[in-house]
Amino acid sequence: MLTSSRRQRIDDLAAGGGAPDAGVSLAVSAWRRLRRSPLFLVGAAIIGVFVVMALLAPWLAQHDPALRLLDDQVSRARNEIPPAQPGHPLGGDQQGRDLYSRMLLGSQQTLLVAVLATVIGLGGGLVLGTLAGAIGGWVDSVVMRLVDVMLSIPSLLLAVSVGALFARQTQFTVILAVAIVQIPIFARLLRGSMLAQRASDHVLAARALGVRRRAIVFRHMLPNSLGPVVVQSTLVLAIAIIDAAALSFLGLGAADDSVPEWGQMLGRAQDVIDSHPQLAFWPAGAIITVALGFTLVGESLRDALDPKNRR
């Protein structure tokens, strides 16, 4: 939950993106700095491996993750879970399914959770934030009060409430629960960034030249707000994975686990964590690594885009 210092950080970010005119040169100089940053390179490498793994998973995995191939080695009575063995390098899970294949295919769902949650959160935030920031006036007041209400609930509680709302818990309800928490953050971020620009020289100039409001919003203000949004999105990719795991831990994960997801695997491993730690450690390690990857990239991007660092 990086959402920690929320409003403060959101607004700081927004102000950082407010530096107009510099669009291209900022990107170029940022890229120059990023290339030299070891943190960024490590993060990018992790993400690269993760994405490749998710894409190739169907070919790399030797077994169907839903099949109880090692069923006969599972015994609840004797607390037996299949150990590593030829053909099953990581052994099986509580239901005798191949852990290696589940880990590999789990990367797909995990990537899906991260990306979809971020896209939905960003999309919702984009609509609300643009409305508020571009139009201002009473629209701004109403939207921002709504955003404040959402922000006033600690993020996990909001996610839990949303998650519990659905009659059937599926991967999608988890994604939605995680995403909704992000909407107010993106909204506030975009609004702040746009407000900063409304008063800026190039927007004033465009207005003086008679450019229509819609054109100003979409051609000038939105593109210039992208920097902070990209930073926040990268961080949210990490948050989404961690929050999804937390929801699973609280029993609000997807009920059907025939399609594996790392957070769900970790959540389900909690009652055998002492006797069969591998069931928790593999997904936990994967989640931590990938979340770290996104965080590294996000933080390096933030540093690189920070005008203060352009010296």
For the chain, report the end-to-end CA distance as a whole number of angstroms: 32
Q: Which window, 26-34, 115-123, 146-154, 199-207, contacts another protein (CB under 8 A)? A: 146-154
Closer residue to another protein in complex, CB, 8/24: 8
HSE-CB for 291 with a 13 A CA cutoff: 20
Q: How far is the CB of 8 from another protein (least distance, A)?
A: 5
- Supply φ then ψ for residue 184, to 5 degrees: -65, -30
Q: 3-state DSSP call for residue 102?
A: helix
Q: Which window, 24-32, 106-114, 172-180, 244-252, contacts another protein (CB under 8 A)? A: 244-252
Position 189, amino acid: L
Interaction of residue 79 with another protein, rule CB under 8 A: yes
Of the candidate residues 33, 60, 273, 310, the single one contacting another protein (CB under 8 A): 273
Interaction of residue 39 with another protein, rule CB under 8 A: yes
- Total residues in contact with another protein, by rule CB under 8 A: 67
Using CA atoms, how far apart are residues 126 and 72, in angstroms rounded to an integer? 52
Q: For residues 197 and 225, is the Cβ–Cβ distance under 8 A?
A: yes
Q: For residues 187 and 120, is the Cβ–Cβ distance under 8 A?
A: no
Site mask for another protein (CB under 8 A), range 172-211, x = bound: ----------------------------------------
Closer residue to another protein in complex, CB, 101/300: 300
Interaction of residue 152 with another protein, rule CB under 8 A: yes
Helices (H), 89-170: 99-130, 137-152, 155-165
Kindly give, in sequence order, each residue whose CB lies less than 8 Å from that of residue 40, ignoring residues fewer than 6 positions away.
34, 296, 297, 300, 301, 304
| Backbone angle region of 91, left / alpha / beta, with phi > 0 → left and psi within -120 to 50 → alpha | left
Q: How far is the CB of 4 from another protein (least distance, A)?
A: 4
Interaction of residue 78 with another protein, rule CB under 8 A: yes
Enumerate residues 102-141 that contact another protein by CB under 8 A.
Answer: none
Give the footprint of another protein on this chain (CB under 8 A): 1-9, 39, 68, 71, 74-79, 94-95, 145-146, 148-149, 152-157, 160-161, 164-169, 238, 242, 245-246, 249-251, 255-257, 266, 270-277, 280, 284, 287-289, 291-292, 295-296, 299
